[in-house]
Structure 1
Amino acid sequence: MKIGNERNRKMSKKKCVIGIILAMIFSFVISMVAYMLFPENTIAQVILEAIDVAGLLGIIIAFGQKRELGFSVGSFIEGIKLNAYVLAYAVPFFIYHLVDWLLGNGGPDFYANTIGSALVLFLTAGMREELLFRGIAFNFIKATGELSRPMVIKASVISALLFGILHFSNYFFGQDLLSTLCQVVYASAIGIFFAAVYFRTKNIWANIAVHFFFDFAHVNMEEVLGVKGNLVGESMSTLIYSIVTIAVAFYLMREKKITASASGVRINSNLNDREDIFKW
């Protein structure tokens, strides 16, 4: 499917705020129901998370941002390519935890329902978080003004900070403070990067796939295989990585690329024409 030229879909600031708050409250309520009432019921969690995702999709459509959910094979591939920076960090973690387990450290301690747990992770870390913070927060904020580099950066930073702050809730569920603070920092940095990639490709589905793999490799591999990494070492690496990530994200959002996107330089998946907008 060919995605049309980029035109910022105007939205009032009031409508933007209402939409973001509505989405966050809806998602929060569904999550609380899923994990407080059904903490051990994977099937119930999958159903509720699917309802959450459907609701977020409905909000995006109801607020006039349906075109932001567009998909084409070409833009999906380009999204994966631009996300190579994130994958270059996630894949080594995946291999590290896998090798650590194969060497006999900590496992296996698989979930009783590993497939179901992975599906829950996909619906939460992959779909829900991308739809909520990129599909809604980023797009809604971006739509409140003229499309420009300052506006794209503003939308990226605000939506990423919301994304990062959300992760502080893990502290109240038993995670130690150092890990939580580091998670808030790198989640914010990754949020800015994902927003930049999403803006460049107009394909949120690539972000969803990469986001899921990133969380699975970096966090859930520890739980699935029963291995634990070095807290201080991983905290330092994530902080350093966060600084580099923000720098790369701003590079992706340089003026030349913002202008190219605003003027409608796109990719036609039917002809496999890869335009300048997708080049680093």
Structure 2
Amino acid sequence: MKNKILGLPKAAVIVIGIVITALFLVLMNLVGAAATHFTTIMDSYTLQFIAEIGVAVYAIGMLFLTGYQQSLRKTGVGFLRGFYTGGFMVGYCVYVAVAQLFLQSVSGSDGVRSAGGIMIYILTMFLVGMNEEVIMRGIVLNLFADRFSNTRRGVLAAIILSSVIFGAAHIPNVLSGVPLSSALIQALQATLLGVLFAAIYLRSGNLWICIIIHALVDFGGLMASGIFGNGDMTDMIGSLSVLNLVVTVPLFLVPCIVLLRRSKLDEIVEMREGEIIIPSEREGENIATVSLVLGILGIVTGFVGYGAGFGLVGLLGAICSKKIKPQQNGTATAALVTSIIGLVIAALVIVAMLFLMPVLGDVSTLESIMNQ
């Protein structure tokens, strides 16, 4: 079927991409509505989990039907290099998760969902990431990229158009009770995230990298409700405001520009033509330098817990650099050491803060300590 679709005019291929996405949304809502109507389940994440299982069948089936099943088997540049390519999002996920943990500790809230509820939440976030990436990057982006010209302009057009569709797919959340303003803000954020995920996918050639990072983004963003039981998914999305947009637009736009700069677009074009991109020693040195900076930042910010993201990405980069240039690479060694130190410091601080913050937030406990 893929060849038949790609033989159609560009406008027809775009319409097919929109229809595939629309059917995905319709099916999800139908399965969710059926689960709500025919069961007594009240937990929003359990209902979402059921819906995601239903659409997973559709997503995988559509992947095979369109002939892109190989996208789940290809590892591209490998997982290590792929996660480093998506390093910004890896660090962002760690930052959000740590911030959520700190916020919950400061609030003094000791409410935590049951072990079963947390497991459902984790599985739901994974399925959300998998289903959306299979549909949007595995099928829609690939269709557009294959149909458009394999040039910088064609690749950019495929990325932007598929990302706009991805963003628009979040607007129907209003049907779940999300305010229209919040749904539009989420759609704009999702569009930028779509560009990021598309860039990571096309540069790494590994769809699983996007699936995992996507799942982690959702996991961190919804932790307050998914782990600690503060509201539900609709409440979390409904809390989005213009302030979120002011922060996230530049935050996501900068890495989009970096990942899709002219030289990297050329690499994507070459990779899509079947060429194997072998990193030069100079690139290995550049990665080592960046990783060293990240490692140092990890140590500096590790004392407030947020160095974990810098340290983790620095560690990934240092290992990548060592693989590219195994000999006479002292910068990579220094990056490796500083990144590990930053990770250790951050881990110790996070553990300490999780234990101390509830105590410090309890006035009666503080008074008893002071009176001893």
Q: Do 1:196 and 1:252's aligned partners in 2 also have CA atoms closer than 8 Å?
A: no
Q: Do 1:50 and 1:123's aligned partners in 2 also have CA atoms closer than 8 Å?
A: yes
Cα 1:235–1:16 change in 2 (3 A) is closer
Q: Do 1:265 and 1:275's aligned partners in 2 also have CA atoms closer than 8 Å?
A: no
Match for residue 121 of structure 2?
117
Cα 1:97–1:43 change in 2 (3 A) is closer
5+ residue gaps, structure 2:
231-235, 288-372
SS state at 2:276 partner: coil
Name which structure has the greater RCO, CA cutoff 8 Å, separation 6+: 1
SS state at 2:260 partner: helix
Match for residue 5 of structure 1?
none
1:234 aligned onto 2:252: no
1:205 aligned onto 2:208: yes
Higher-Rg structure is 2
Q: Do 1:186 and 1:241's aligned partners in 2 also have CA atoms closer than 8 Å?
A: no
- Aligned pair count reads 264
1:251 aligned onto 2:261: yes
Give 1:155 shift.
Answer: 0.7
Match for residue 270 of structure 1?
none
Normalization by structure 2: what TM-score?
A: 0.62
Q: Do 1:34 and 1:48's aligned partners in 2 also have CA atoms closer than 8 Å?
A: yes
Q: Do 1:87 and 1:210's aligned partners in 2 also have CA atoms closer than 8 Å?
A: yes
SS state at 1:113 partner: helix
1:91 aligned onto 2:86: no
Paired with 1:188 and 1:157, the residues of 2 have a C-alpha distance of 8
Paired with 1:179 and 1:30, the residues of 2 have a C-alpha distance of 23
Paired with 1:260 and 1:12, the residues of 2 have a C-alpha distance of 22
Paired with 1:101 and 1:73, the residues of 2 have a C-alpha distance of 39
Cα 1:253–1:36 change in 2 (3 A) is farther
Match of 2:225 among 223, 226, 234: 223
Match for residue 196 of structure 2?
193
Match for residue 52 of structure 1?
55
Match for residue 132 of structure 1?
135
Paired with 1:127 and 1:256, the residues of 2 have a C-alpha distance of 28
Match for residue 8 of structure 2?
13
Give 1:148 shift.
Answer: 1.5
Q: Do 1:38 and 1:45's aligned partners in 2 also have CA atoms closer than 8 Å?
A: no
SS state at 1:103 partner: helix
Alignment of 1:51-90 (within 5 A): 51-72=54-75, 75-90=78-93
Give 1:9 shift.
Answer: 11
Q: Do 1:133 and 1:159's aligned partners in 2 also have CA atoms closer than 8 Å?
A: yes
Amino acid at match of 1:188: T
Which 10-residue stretch deviates more, 255-264 or 28-37?
Answer: 255-264
Give 1:48 shift.
Answer: 4.4
Give 1:21 shift.
Answer: 4.3
Match for residue 163 of structure 2?
160
Match for residue 23 of structure 1?
20
Give 1:83 shift.
Answer: 1.0
Paired with 1:97 and 1:34, the residues of 2 have a C-alpha distance of 31
Match of 1:151 among 131, 150, 154: 154
Give 1:120 shift.
Answer: 1.8
**Which 4+ residue blocks in structure 1 deviate beyond 4 angstroms?**
41-45, 226-233
Cα 1:158–1:198 change in 2 (3 A) is same
Paired with 2:265 and 2:256, the residues of 1 have a C-alpha distance of 16
Deviation string 1:161-190 (CA, Å, 9 cap, x unpaired) is 011111122234333444333322221111
Amino acid at match of 2:8: K
